[in-house]
């Protein structure tokens, strides 16, 4: 047996027996207006919310905010992009995209976060390599707190998922805040109802 296989076999033998995960308690819900709490938490993290009557209005919002020449890659059929996005899209090919558009499965009022998995992104790099991220969120899909997220089947079944809260940001020792250092420069959540299925 090769050294690598022997080492891995020893690691596997030393593993503790499987145990059920502990139950995550449901803390007292903060309640109140989930939408207002979400917007306040997101704003505190540098993102912001806008309203759209329908998904068809989102492209106009993008043009108004980022200019007519902005390149758009959309992971949702509700908003047309200027660049096609499929599961076969090479992630590095998105490096020159100005705006990425995606529909979040749900949001978390406690933190102002949106939940996005590999299914929503289509190409995971969309959430990190573009300059600006526009996230469509149905106000009816807001959860109170993070503990509610862990109880959802889609959370447990996702191969990859991220709770995204605001744009990327970092600050140096002098407290100079830089947005977009390791990811998107801005995060805009658009309140718009999800299309009905069926």
If we measure between CA atoms, which residue out of 188, 28, 37, 12 comes closest to residue 98?
188
pLDDT in tens, 57-111: 999 999 999 999 999 999 999 999 999 899 999 999 999 999 999 999 999 999 9
Give the model confidence (pLDDT) of 10-23 as tens digits.
999 999 888 887 87
Q: How far is CA 26 from CA 62, 90, 109, 196, in A?
A: 38, 41, 15, 30
Query: Residues 145, 110: contact at Cβ < 8 Å?
Result: yes
Residue 9 within a domain: no
pLDDT at residue 151 in the model: 86
Question: 76 is written with which tokens?
Answer: 């949702």
Token output for 47 = 């993102």
177 lies in a domain? yes
Give the model's pLDDT for residue 179: 74
Say which residue, 198 or 4, is predicted with more confidence: 4
In a domain, 1, yes or no: no
Q: Is residue 3 part of a domain?
A: no
- 120 SS3 class: helix
Q: Which residues contact 62 (CB under 8 A, 6 or more apart)?
A: 70, 72, 79, 99, 101, 134
24 inside domain:
no
Residue 81 lies in a domain: yes
Question: Contact, 113 vs 168, CB < 8 A?
Answer: no
Specify if 7 maps to a domain. Answer: no
Query: What is the Cα 50 distance to its own chain's centre?
Result: 16
**φ and ψ at residue 143, rounded to 5 degrees:** -105, 155
Task: Quote the domain boundaries for residue 149.
Answer: 32-191
CA-closest candidate to residue 188, choices 102, 126, 77: 102
Q: Where do the H-state alpha helices sit in the chain? A: 3-13, 34-44, 58-66, 118-121, 126-129, 146-149, 153-157
The pLDDT of residue 198 is 58
d(CA 144, CA 108): 6
**Residue 2 domain flag:** no
- For residue 153, the surrounding DSSP H or E stretch is helix 153-157
Structurally, the chain folds into a number of domains equal to: 1
Q: Which helix (H) or strand (E) holds 51?
A: strand 48-51
Indicate the range of 96-100, 182-186, 187-191, 194-198 predicted with least confidence: 194-198
Whichever domain contains 37, its CATH number is: 3.40.50.10420
């Amino acid at each position: 047996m090769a050294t690598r296989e022997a080492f891995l076999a020893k690691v596997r033998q030393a593993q503790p027996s499987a145990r059920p995960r502990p139950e995550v308690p449901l803390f007292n819900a903060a309640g109140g207006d989930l939408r207002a709490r979400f917007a306040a938490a997101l704003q505190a993290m540098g993102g912001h919310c806008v309203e759209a009557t329908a998904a068809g209005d989102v492209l106009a919002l993008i043009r108004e905010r980022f200019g007519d020449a902005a390149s758009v890659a959309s992971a949702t059929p509700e908003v047309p992009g200027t660049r096609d996005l499929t599961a076969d899209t090479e992630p590095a090919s998105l490096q020159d995209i100005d705006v990425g558009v995606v529909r979040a499965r749900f949001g978390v009022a406690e933190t102002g976060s949106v939940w996005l998995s590999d299914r929503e992104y289509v190409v995971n790099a969309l959430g990190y390599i573009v300059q600006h991220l526009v996230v469509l969120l149905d106000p009816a899909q807001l959860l109170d707190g993070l503990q509610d997220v862990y109880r959802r089947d889609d959370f447990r079944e996702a191969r990859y998922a991220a709770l995204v809260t605001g744009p990327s940001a970092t600050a140096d020792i002098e407290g100079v805040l830089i947005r977009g250092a390791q990811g998107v420069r801005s995060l805009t959540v658009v309140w718009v109802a999800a299309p009905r299925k069926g």
